[in-house]
Amino acid sequence: MCGIVGIVAHRPVNQAIYDALTVLQHRGQDAAGISTDDNGTLCSRKALGLVRDVFQERHMLRLQGNVGIGHTRYPTAGCSSSSESQPFYVNSPYGICLAHNGNLTNAVELKELLVNHDHRHLNTGSDTEALLNVFADELQRQNGRSLTPKAVFAAVAGVHRRCRGGYAVVAMIIGHGIVAFRDPDGIRPVCLGRRDTPQGPEWIVASESVALDALDFELVRDILPGEAVFIERNGRLHSHPCGGPRSYTPCIFEFVYFSRPDSIIDRISVYKARLRMGERLAEKILRERPDHDIDVVIPIPDSSRTSALEVAHRLGVKYREGFIKNRYIGRTFIMPGQEIRRQSVRRKLNAIDLEFRDKTVLLVDDSIVRGTTSRQIIEMAREAGARRVYFASASPPVRYPNVYGIDMPAAGELVAAGRSDAEVAQYVGADWLVYQDLDDLVRAVRYDNGDITQFDTSCFSGEYVTGDITPEYLARLEAERCDDARAHRDHAAAVADDEMGDGDTVAVRPRVGAV
């Protein structure tokens, strides 16, 4: 999962993109990058680290131009290396920078065709680089046309024909403007915003509407599945359906965990969806334990707070903040490597003993993925004096890999895979465990938008909306992306980064014009 942003304005966009990336930092903490177009000169800065660490004053001063894109990375493909930080760049045709959120399920086949048939050089293991080269190749195929909206949309249609999976993309074509598009199933989110100025309209595309709020843009709408938007440098906007839609099936885990509660995604309030998750979870608790002995409901901060508040209200028991979070530790779920995740939990959370002592506590979390965090938190609750510890998940058991851009690649690393609810409870050390039912989760999220009747629920149901996921694919994915394999790649990448150095902001003059 990553955060993307693109802005076309009548003033320098470097600070606005930086501010948008800080708001989208929750979507990825591995690396960050910004590329701008300074009247035909590409200016770029990207590196490993948080947004605030990657961009210093000297970098920002060199990121000139009124058009630009940005990215904050959470790696699911490739490795943690500065060479795989985004945006990526190719110089032909025109000069294109591209950033991407999601995962291509046919990346291996694409890379083979790009190298052997299209004679393109790929420098990394990132599927984003493959997607960029597909888009560049399709744009170059437009028979020498000048760069018209029709040519751009034909190229995006070619991308949709060749690429499979979940993806939201923002690309900057040097000297021309920004293109944004979304996979034909609408799995990964991206929205469009507008801000009116005396010089004319300014436009933004971003993963979540909260980035628009921070910059005083008005949310216009979500980019639809299969649709592309082309914003010219002068602020003229064009849109066209380029690939479907095949379906309208957003990833439901965006609403469970990844997105900020103050975001609106596909016309659905994340905050209200989480409130309804809490309502339905409380109803299940009352069905299964009408005479419950719960004294207090305590959320696991931060994303479960909204659901936990409603659970407490419906159960008629106290809601208390029993854990204090260290704001300077990243989101545990998206940290690379099981050992790093394990070590970070106790540094991230500290229990307030008086909220636990001699009480039957219901802990509420948004989900249980690997079980590492849940087990340590339950241990902390017992150490703080809890008499009994119950655990509630606002989402169903995560039993299947997610292949569309969320780091759930190996079934063997998922605590609920192959285990019953009682076995999971025993593993994490809970006296009782309750999961949200999948039907209830879907109804809770769908409530606001009648246009969406289904969601991608693959990590809960094992049903993959793109229809191309085989057991062989999942086995290969597990071998490539388990923690051990990733640790080996990250070590090799770290050695390479040490040898090559981190680099600095660069400015290059790409070839401009039709090929």
Q: Are 72 and 23 in contact (CB under 8 A)?
A: no
First CA to last CA across the chain, in angstroms? 34
Tell me the HSE value of 216 on the side-chain side, using a 13 A CA sphere: 7
Residue 2 appears among annotated catalytic residues: yes
* Spatial CB neighbours of 208, under 8 Å, sequence gap ≥ 6: 3, 23, 24, 27, 189, 191, 259, 260, 263, 265
d(CA 349, CA 355): 14
- Count CB neighbours of 361 within 10 A: 26
d(CA 420, CA 379): 21
d(CA 246, CA 432): 41
d(CA 372, CA 152): 46
Exposed, middle or buried: residue 66 (CB in 10 Å: 0-12, 13-18, 19+)? buried
Q: Are 324 and 349 in contact (CB under 8 A)?
A: yes
Per annotation, catalytic residue among 2, 43, 79, 242: 2
Closest to 43 measured CA to CA, from 5, 70, 81: 70
Pairing assessment for the beta strands 218-222 and 227-232 based on DSSP bridges: unpaired
d(CA 361, CA 354): 12
Please give the backbone phi and psi of residue 14, each rounded to the nearest 5 degrees, phi first: -60, -50
Pairing assessment for the beta strands 3-8 and 323-325 based on DSSP bridges: unpaired
Closest to 65 measured CA to CA, from 515, 503, 505, 504: 505
Q: Are 430 and 421 in contact (CB under 8 A)?
A: no
d(CA 75, CA 334): 9
Residue type, 390: Y
Contacts of residues 487-493 at CB distance under 8 Å and 24 or more positions apart, as own/partner, are: 487/337, 489/78, 489/79, 489/125, 490/79, 490/80, 490/81, 490/336, 490/337, 492/79, 493/79, 493/80, 493/81, 493/83, 493/84
Please give the backbone phi and psi of residue 154, each rounded to the nearest 5 degrees, phi first: -65, -40
Q: Are 38 and 64 in contact (CB under 8 A)?
A: yes
Helix (H) / strand (E) containing 310? helix 305-315
> Which residues participate in catalysis according to the annotation?
2
